[in-house]
Structure 1
């Protein structure tokens, strides 16, 4: 009798252990999926960074040596409402990295700020260009936009990415301005100063395109006959959905997309791997995202569901992008002939997400200038 009870007790304990393990696994996957969905759709306001100036010299600044501060190329150190454009690394050693100061004041020792890929402030602060702040009447309420005037009737309408600010699209402003094109950097729902979405969440381009439509309508009212759309990161998806759904899409003469995350399922799996989770966690995160915001992510896929209007597209991506896999842009470019879409693909070595301009500004500016000259009637 005792010998019969012992196996039953062990079997019961084994089933309990298996149940506990399964519950832990399910809870872990559930947490991972919810965490992943937060990264995709939760609105965030980024505060000040933690980069401190350790030394400064004649047009140089020395910072602690980190993966961010040692990147090659052009970046900005933003501090106390000011900004300094930093160039290439001039020396490195002893846990420190020294970079050239290309523009702006040299911050003093002890200055604390953030290292950014985009210029600080408005067009006047960033590039010394006159601008006005106009209001775009969206369906949710007024949204501010920066307007830099130009002589042409083809406007350059720029859309930033998820949880970014409109200053992020200013990197191309100098080359666009030299071509005489009016420049409009828009905001959309959930941006600072713009109306919030009804649920307070990001909709990955599925609703934000309507705010772009309102901006294009506003530009038309101010004299625009044609527009060029420029979208960085999620801004590219917003532009794609505008082309797919807006009755104003025929006004678009050309599009530039920089690292657009149009294949959201793939992005979720990619980022799950970054955090050491299985691909299934990324798939599950995508399902949670769809449940929370009521969006069919597959409908945003530019290859499986190409936009109704497909003007010439300049597609840009860096091969070291850790947020959006570069393979998705390669596939979109390869699908261009089959889709009847004139796509020019340019890949940049090095640089993280939307950092192609930073790692090679001359090449980026040249590509934008030549593309606008060929497809938007711009005169160099």
Structure 2
């Protein structure tokens, strides 16, 4: 999963179920079934409308400031995007200027579009919206997948770079290719071509028949197609980078694809290492009864639940525990995760790093929330990836 707004979408479903569970669920089995179904469907249904869970209290475009209601996202140092007006307006926010009584004032770097006004808003890790904002050469391409042509962006490596090194960016739940724009510069400076892929049901790539997420269990096929595209266009050493649910997609890819000859390493940012752990964490965070969380997961896994959840095939969540499957992994891996991630717990990342200390490098953060590590501390985030990429086994193309 990715973006705090996407997390809020799932969180609201869990939260609604928790309210029901705390009251009327005990009175009727029907309401319990409704709440369980709502949770299960929300987890696997692509989000199209993101909640605006922040509040703009005031602004001064002349001074370049905006005042927000104090929340964890609004209060975190760093650079962010901000949407308002039902996503009709977008601005870039800079660092914190001051904290008030229940408010924070931040630098207003630039209003990209829309008329700034007070009211509901949302903070986004998407600092860049368009590929041309990076000031690098870029091409829009289409990748042939089993469902049709999936659009992608390709940022060629520098002219003087060693040819053949590519990174394929895999975005998270409720996100899009824009999520990976933050990572293009560090890979470009390290001599890599960047391919920012789309995958089924993300709003850019073709939809599957059921229009549901497979939580990595189906999306990996589109990333396998992206690997094929990269190889056909000169890739000889490929790093896969997954954000949030994109991490689960990457882990499924490397354990299920037959196109792994040129994949030499993976980078995971705020990743889902274990779906059961992640969904249980969400349920506990929102005080959902354990029985209801387990029931929602059973629905997702059941052969018979398609008419209820809308999914075309069951999802084997137990097979998506890569702490349990740690022995199957062999590629060098960099994991970046914040311990205060309130959406995907860092416990899975830490457990995998401990289980496979021979191949896993873990870079922990403390207060960077979910998929906002670059935003919070760009220097640390960039330096960690750059240092890891210099390792011979990752950077050297396979012969």
TM-score range (shorter-chain normalised) is 0.7 to 0.9
- How big is the shift at 1:294? 0.9
- Out of 300, 305, 317, the position equivalent to 2:325 is 305
8 A Cα contact 1:61 1:107, kept in partner: no
Higher relative contact order (CA 8 A, sep 6+): 2
Task: Tell me if 1:36 matches 2:39.
Answer: yes
Task: Tell me if 1:73 matches 2:78.
Answer: yes
Task: Please give the alpha-carbon distance, in whole angstroms, between the structure 2 residues aligned to 1:59 and 1:157.
Answer: 40
Range with greater deviation from structure 2 (299-308 or 217-226): 299-308
Other structure's SS at 2:395 match: coil
Q: Which residue of 1 aligns with 2:60?
A: 56
Question: Normalising by structure 2, what TM-score?
Answer: 0.81
Q: Which residue of 2 aligns with 1:318?
A: 338
Other structure's SS at 2:390 match: helix
Q: Which residue of 2 aligns with 1:5?
A: none
8 A Cα contact 2:82 2:91, kept in partner: yes
Task: Tell me if 1:367 matches 2:367.
Answer: no
- How big is the shift at 1:266? 1.5
Q: Deviations over 1:163-216 (max 9, x none)?
A: 111101111111111122110000000011211112111000011100000001
8 A Cα contact 1:208 1:238, kept in partner: yes
Task: Please give the alpha-carbon distance, in whole angstroms, between the structure 1 residues aligned to 2:369 and 2:28.
Answer: 33
Range with greater deviation from structure 2 (359-368 or 55-64): 55-64
- Out of 167, 187, 193, the position equivalent to 1:182 is 193
Q: Which residue of 1 aligns with 2:140?
A: 133
Other structure's SS at 1:267 match: helix
- How big is the shift at 1:141? 0.7
Unpaired runs of 5+ residues, structure 1, are 1-20
Task: Please give the alpha-carbon distance, in whole angstroms, between the structure 2 residues aligned to 1:120 and 1:171.
Answer: 7
- How big is the shift at 1:22? 8.5
Task: Please give the alpha-carbon distance, in whole angstroms, between the structure 1 residues aligned to 2:74 and 2:389.
Answer: 33
Task: Please give the alpha-carbon distance, in whole angstroms, between the structure 2 residues aligned to 1:108 and 1:47.
Answer: 19
Q: Deviations over 1:43-97 (max 9, x none)?
A: 1113584654722256632122230322222212246777543222111225542
Q: Which residue of 2 aligns with 1:118?
A: 126
> When the two structures are aligned, how many residues end up with a matched partner?
354
Q: Which residue of 2 aligns with 1:14?
A: none
The 3 A distance-change label for structure 1 pair 81 and 123 is farther
